[in-house]
Chain A
Amino acid sequence: MAETVLSINHLQKKFGKFEALKDITFDVQKGEVFGFIGPNGAGKSTTIRTLLGILRASGGSATIFGKDVWKDAVSIHERLAYVPGDVYLWPNLTGGEIIDLFLKLNHQKHTTHADELIKQFELDPSKKARTYSKGNRQKVALIAAFSTDADLYIFDEPTSGLDPLNEEIFQKNVLALKSQGKSILLSSHILSEVERMCDRIGIIREGRIIETGTLDEMRHLTRTMVTVQTRQTLPDLSGTDDVHNFKRSDDTPNKASFSVDSDKMDKVMQTLAGLEIIGLQSTPPTLEDLFLRYYQKDSKGDGQDEA
């Protein structure tokens, strides 16, 4: 392993005075699914378009397969498949024609795999793109991408228009690609999707990558939610540095919930054990907690929240 497919180094992009990307650094290894998450307007699509050579970087560097994304766009794209967030298709072509065209543009043929995908996603390829809904346009792009034999797949919020059933089909296909050793860059809002599929995650905010790592690594940096009930009197733990948001239950005595810094768990547990635990529930932080924590960090502006 450890073959780097995509590598971005301090990438910057300015539109006039506006700095859309300030400092983007991350890389994607061969065979991994990299989740790229961030709120609207954080710079996800701008990053991806720069990677595709559609936009020209103002600073920093980005390479795919070791080649410069601007200069060698064509040879990079030979081995790449892409699905944009908003899929727009020529209104007077049919879905089937567009899928074939996309394949031919990468010198590939319509295979049985493509037919299979059309069936899986339940797309009617004989309709003109004008009559497709957002979800159906997205299916066209997804079918074209999944049936393309590439080494890197880039999906920019690919499931925003899909229903849960089709989302499931999407996830299945991504995992199938992964099992074939393909690399995938997946930008998404849907955190459960990222949580389920991605090996590593990069969080972008206001044009900067603020965190990258595996979900476990990130969890480690944050807190676990604990709900506990003890036989002995439960003291107020909010005084200690390790416990946050301590909140007693209203109806049950000696029951409370709070969050603990993940690396202080051991210490807190020892304290609780002395109080004879009756019930204990600990929930690892979801990606959503992580996400919210990162985004609210600045707006709240309270320093003690810092991990």
Chain B
Amino acid sequence: MKHSSYQQSGFLTRFNLRRDWFVILVWLVILGGLMASVAFKFNDLYGSKDSISSIVTTLKMPAMVSLFGTFVAKAPYTTADIFASEMMVFMALFMAVMNIYFAVRNTRDEESNGMLELLRAHAIGKQSPLLAATIELFLINLLMGLFYFGGLQISGMHGMTVTGNLLIGAGLATVGFMFGSAALLMAQISDNPRGATMLSYLFLGVTYLVRMITDVQNADLTWWSPFGWVEKLSIYHENNWSPILLMVALTAVLLLLTFYASRHRDVDAGLLATRGGRKRASVFLTGPFSLVMRLDRLSLIVWVLAVIVLGISYGSIFGTVGDIMKTNPLMGKLMGATAVDAANRAIVLKFAALLMIVFAVLVTVPSVQTLLRINGDERKGWLEQIHAKAISRGHIFSSYVAVALIIGTLSMFAAVFGLWLANNSVMDNPLSFARLFRGFIGYLPALYVTLGISIVIIGWLPRFQTVIWALPVYGLISLYFGNLLNLPNWAENLTPYGWINQVPVKAVDWSQVWILLGVAVILFVIGFVGYKRRDLIEN
């Protein structure tokens, strides 16, 4: 192929792979390892008939459906059925996150840090860097898919089939590449990496919420969400390949649009251009705190809105979740009306308690992002001139910490508020605000301790600061899956999220709240001492 627009794409792909191999390996080991280790454990967990039938009842409850997707398998159920039903939605989510990361990093990021300009001055085609990024993304997903397939093949899970295993690998690889392609398109639309990432997550978020709501209300409608397609594969049963075709078709459309947009735009330009702004600073922009606030303003608004929507979405299914009559009519009849009400309420509260963990982990993300800016902004040289001003390190440091706390706290509140709002309108006997507020107060200290640990790493080990992400990721996996995988208690207690008692089922443990807040403050101080005494990071 000697088309001048695509010259040297192969060379660039090899170059990209050489540059990224370590990061790819890390993702491969984490995601592939997670999948394989769960598969290996599954015969122990759900090997017997009893354990299978009890988990099936659980998985058929609307609360679980909202988290893991509809349970489509037909009796007799096998261990593999449970596996596919528990893992697909969750792994698809991780695949999408990974693809968005690589897609934006290898296109718009390269463009805004000037690398693309350097490359384009060489004898390569106009579209070659984009094609190379696309091929790389394809290869990463292919590798992931093969890894999943291979891991399942040797796991020896009861009830699995080669076709089913293949379909899992293919399904996850395709759904990943589809969201990656969407992110490539967003990287053409927005003219900066942050915007591209945000648009990509907007797409992911909307498709995920549509999937969740339709799953609970009417699973046939889930076909309307591209994210829902992974659920329609009917793995180990019908082994339906048509969703894969749908995903491939959408991917093709997205890529065509991407390449079309890329051909018709200039380097550094996007469809959504950066607009001009104020000639003079507003009266609010006066110091480090207001600066960080101003910089993260968009992030704050987007996150608060996003988690409100998430809260409302979950709250809106409370009615269905807390309806034993619907899921288990026989039991409902046996229990009598008051008992049913009480049981319904207990289910909803337990579901709310699980959601609190999800919210707490989720709102850790923007807070940690703000904290990482302490070193990140410095490395980019943005802070050099601030440090040359009459501003102490403590002032700069505490400004970032304060904004991180504000974003985390407000987002957590927004999520709980959204939950309450929707629950109020759909339930006959809604949970009171005070009750749900327990979840907010209960998990704030866990969030703060996590941020405290992050600050210690940022202050003392700036080079290894990305390690921080292990906390929320592990927290989510261990607690989301904790019960389903029968994880031991200590494994759930490795992150602060696991230390909190079941709010809002139970009341807030105030003595624990104060202790954790104290721990958080101590961690902040330790982190700051490290930051204060070291060299700043300069490029």
Report A's interface with B, CB cutoff 8 A: 49, 52-56, 73-75, 77-78, 80-84, 86-94, 96-102, 104-107, 110, 125-128, 130-131, 141, 144, 154
Q: Output the nearest chain B residue to A144 by Cβ-Cβ distance.
A: B385
State the CA gap A107–B282 with chains docked (Å).
15
Q: Quick check: A94 and B382 within 8 Å, CB to CB? A: no
- List the B residue with the shortest CB-CB distance to A125: B279
**16 additional A-B residue pairs with CB within 8 Å, beyond A53-B387, A92-B295, A101-B281:** A54-B387, A54-B388, A74-B390, A84-B384, A87-B385, A88-B380, A90-B382, A96-B279, A97-B280, A100-B281, A104-B287, A105-B287, A105-B389, A110-B280, A125-B280, A128-B274
A94 near B391 (CB under 8 angstroms)? Answer: no
Bound CA span A92–B191, Å: 12
Contact at A74–B391, with CB atoms within 8 Å? yes
Interface size class of B (residues with CB under 8 A): 35 or more
Please name 22 pairs of A and B residues whose Cβ atoms are closer than 8 Å in the assembled complex, sorted by A: A49-B538, A55-B538, A56-B534, A80-B388, A82-B385, A83-B385, A87-B381, A88-B380, A90-B382, A91-B192, A96-B277, A96-B281, A97-B285, A98-B281, A101-B281, A101-B285, A101-B286, A105-B391, A110-B281, A127-B276, A127-B277, A128-B277
Give the distance in Å from the alpha carbon of A51 to the alpha carbon of B291 in the complex: 25
- A86 near B539 (CB under 8 angstroms)? yes
Chain B min CB distance to A64 (Å): 11
Q: Are A96 and B381 in contact (CB under 8 A)?
A: no
Residues of B within 8 A of A55 (CB): 535-536, 538
Q: Which of B291, B381, B384, B539 has the most CB of A within 10 A?
A: B384
Contact A78 B390 (CB under 8 A): yes
Q: How far is the CA of A153 from the CA of B390 in the complex (A)?
A: 14
In the complex, the answer to whether B385 meets A84 with C-beta atoms within 8 Å is: yes
Q: Is B390 a contact partner of A126 (Cβ separation < 8 A)?
A: no
Cβ of B275 < 8 Å from any Cβ of A? yes
Interface residues of B in 396-448 (CB under 8 A from A): none
Tell whether A77 pairs with B390 under 8 Å between CB atoms, given A56-B535, A84-B381.
Answer: yes
Q: Closest approach, in angstroms, between the C-beta of B120 and any C-beta of chain A?
A: 17
Closest 7 CB pairs of A and B: A100-B281, A88-B381, A82-B388, A94-B277, A105-B389, A78-B390, A96-B279
User: Contact at B291–A101, with CB atoms within 8 Å?
Assistant: yes
Residue of B nearest to A81 (CB): B388
Q: What's the nearest-Cβ distance from chain B to residue A290, in Å?
A: 30
Shortest beta-carbon distance from A251 to chain B in Å: 45
Question: Can you list, as one digit per residue, whether each of B274-308 has a CB less than 8 Å from chain A (1) or not (0)?
Answer: 11111111100111100100110010000000000
Chain B residues with CB under 8 Å of A74's CB are 390-392
Describe A's contact surface by its main secondary structure.
Answer: mixed
Q: Which residue on chain A has the smallest CB distance to residue B379? A: A88
With both beta carbons as reference points, the residue of chain B lying nearest to A103 in the complex is identified as B281
**Which of B275, B280, B386, B391 is close to A100, meaning CB atoms less than 8 Å apart?**
B280
State whether B276 touches A94 (Cβ < 8 A): yes
Q: Are B388 and A77 within 8 A (Cβ)?
A: yes
Is B533 positioned at the interface, with any CB of A under 8 Å from its CB?
A: yes
Asked if A105 and B276 make an inter-chain contact with CB atoms under 8 angstroms apart, the answer reads no
Which listed residue, B278, B285, B295, B380, touches A104 by the CB 8 Å rule? B285
Provide the residues of chain B in CB contact with A101, threshold 8 Å.
281, 285-286, 291
Chain A residue contacts of B295, Cβ below 8 A: 90, 92-93
Please pick, from A126, A128, A144, the residue contacting B279 in the complex, using a CB distance under 8 A: A126
- Bound-state Cα–Cα, A73 to B295, Å: 25
A80 to B191, CA, bound (A): 36
A92, A99, A107 pick with most chain B CB within 10 angstroms: A92
Q: Which residues on A sit within 8 Å (CB–CB) of B533?
A: 56
CB distance from B376 to the nearest CB of A (A): 12
Chain B's nearest CB lies how many Å from the CB of A107?
7
Closest to B282 in A: A97
Most chain B beta carbons < 10 A, residue from A94, A105, A128: A105
Among residues of B, the one whose C-beta sits closest to the C-beta of A124 is B276
The answer to whether A52 and B192 touch (CB under 8 A), given A110-B280, A125-B279, A128-B274, is no
| A84-B384, A89-B382, A141-B385 known; A130+B274 contact, CB < 8 A | yes
Which of chain B's residues has its CB closest to A137's CB?
A: B381
Residues of A within 8 A of B280 (CB): 96-97, 100, 110, 125
A52 contacts B278, C-beta separation under 8 Å: no
Q: Are A105 and B382 in contact (CB-based, < 8 A)? A: no
With beta carbons under 8 angstroms apart, the residue of B274, B377, B385, B393 that contacts A102 is: B385
A109 CB → nearest B CB, Å: 11
- CB neighbours (8 Å) of A83 from chain B are 385
Q: Given A89-B382, A94-B277, A128-B275, does the pair A77, B535 have CB atoms closer than 8 Å?
A: no
B139 to chain A, nearest CB (A): 31
B288, B294, B390, B535: the one contacting A54 at CB < 8 Å is B535
Given A52-B387, A53-B387, decide whether A97 and B380 contact each other with a Cβ distance below 8 A.
no
Find out whether the CB atom of A107 lies under 8 angstroms from the CB atom of B539.
no
CA of A126 to CA of B285 in the docked complex: distance in angstroms?
Answer: 16
Q: How far is the CA of A93 from the CA of B387 in the complex (A)?
A: 18
Could you tell me if A75 and B382 are in contact, using CB atoms closer than 8 angstroms? no
A94 touches B278 (CB 8 A): yes
CA distance A83 to B384 in the complex (A): 9
- In the complex, which residues of chain A have a beta carbon less than 8 angstroms from the beta carbon of B382? 88-90
Cβ of A60 to closest chain B Cβ, rounded Å? 16
Which one of A80, A101, A126 has the highest number of Cβ atoms from chain B below 10 Å of its Cβ? A101
Q: Which residues of A contact B390 (CB under 8 A)?
A: 74-75, 77-78, 105-107
- The docked-state distance in angstroms from the alpha carbon of A248 to that of B493 is 87
Q: In the complex, A83→B385 CA distance in Å?
A: 7
Determine the distance from Cα of A273 to Cα of B521 in the docked complex, in whole angstroms.
84
A54 to B531, alpha carbons, bound, how many Å? 11
Give bound CA distance, A82 to B387, whole Å.
10
The residue in chain B whose Cβ has the minimal distance to the Cβ of A46 is B538
Interface residues of B in 73-89 (CB under 8 A from A): none
Q: How far is the CB of A56 from chain B (nearest CB, A)?
A: 6
A131 vs B276: C-alpha distance in the bound complex, in angstroms?
A: 9
| Complex contacts, A131 vs chain B, CB 8 Å | 274
Interface string of B321-352 (1 = CB under 8 A from A): 00000000000000000000000000000000
Selected contact of B294 from candidates A93, A105, A141, CB within 8 Å:
A93
Contact A73 B392 (CB under 8 A): yes
**How far apart sit A142 and B381, CA to CA, in the bound complex (Å)?**
16
Residues on B with beta carbons closer than 8 Å to the beta carbon of A90? 295, 377, 382
Tell which of A78, A90, A106 has the most Cβ of chain B within 10 Å.
A90
- Cα–Cα distance between A205 and B14 once the two chains are bound (Å): 40
Of listed B276, B377, B388, residue having the most chain A CB within 10 A: B388
Q: Are B538 and A100 in contact (CB under 8 A)?
A: no
Chain A residue at smallest Cβ distance from B392: A74
